[in-house]
Amino acid sequence: MARAFLSSGDLIADRRASYADMLFESGDHVAAADLMRQALEIVPDWTAGLFRLGEMEEAAGDEDAAAGTWRRLLELDPGDRFGATLKLAASGYAIVPDNPPAAYVETLFDAYAPTFETALLQKLHYRVPELLAAAIKTAAPARHYRSLLDIGCGTGLMGDYFRTGADHMAGMDLSEAMLQKAGEKHIYDRLFKGDINALDYPAGSADLIIAADVFVYVGDLEKAFACITNALSADGLLAFSVENHSEEGELILQSSLRYTHSETYVRRLLAEHGLTPLTIAREAIRFDRGEPLQGLIVVAKRA
């Protein structure tokens, strides 16, 4: 994400940062951090450069320096577009926040939008849309949906599966760039920008709500589930995925800056919000650093 905002406005600083990136990619993390510090001597308030320096210092094993850099970044960018709060928490220098900064999630996916589908489908072998679509069909094989809400719709990967199975299909996302990509497909009847923790949708109006690979960027799901169940019809279905862990604790912030959720936590939330699980399946949802990443594919019905 830092590269999307990389230019400092100073040619010499940019050139040094580019060389630092080359050193970093070659594996010389210490030299990369040194050169990035030289770039920041020219433009000390360059937020993208500070974030990149923190990454380099972390990779070089100087975690104290990285933490100091991320704290400096937060002073300059209190909205936290780069996720310095999460970096500090993931490295043990701060308490893990219940939710990531909204500005971070929005910035991340605005930058990711142009290459989103290529990266997920071709490089990471992303399977959540097909797995969720199959699980929904198994749970309700002949059902036609009056109103479908695709939360965190992204570029519309999930919507492709349901265009002929719903009378009205709405897509919501926090990223304007993602919504623009989804709009180019002409598969949604309505697209709108919004935050799942403050979902503004007519009560009881959606008989299928989908959240594919969304909750990894939400963290604590209490507010999200309250908003979702308010929007869900009396016999509505909720289908979603989470990245899963088998360690102690209900949710864990990973070094990837994504949250994982335990099956126990998922089941508790469903019960507390009046949702009966129809399927909870553990699946390999995509690859991460060459290894299959485990998640839960969940379909639940309002009781």
199-216 pLDDT, tens digit each? 999 999 999 999 999 999
Taking the chain, what is the end-to-end CA distance rounded to the nearest angstrom? 41
How far is it, in rounded angstroms, from Cα 256 to Cα 275? 30
Q: How many domains is the chain partitioned into structurally?
A: 2
Question: Residue 301: what are its φ and ψ, rounded to 5°?
Answer: -120, 140
Domain assignment present for 113: no
CATH number at residue 124: 3.40.50.150
Is there a single domain that holds both residue 295 and residue 156?
yes
In sequence order, the β-bridge partners of residue 170 are 149, 190
β-strand 275-288 against 291-302: which pairing, if any? antiparallel
Domain assignment present for 53: yes
Mean pLDDT of 50-76: 97
β-strand 232-243 against 291-302: which pairing, if any? antiparallel
Q: Is 164 left (phi over 0), alpha (psi -120 to 50) or beta?
A: alpha
Range of the domain at 282: 119-302
Structure confidence at residue 2 as a pLDDT band (50, 70, 90):
very low
Chain mean pLDDT for the chain: 94
CATH number at residue 33: 1.25.40.10
CA angle 186/189/190 to nearest 5° reads: 105
Mean pLDDT of 132-150: 96
pLDDT > 80? residue 172: yes
Is there a single domain that holds both residue 223 and residue 269?
yes
| pLDDT value of position 248 | 86
| pLDDT value of position 7 | 85
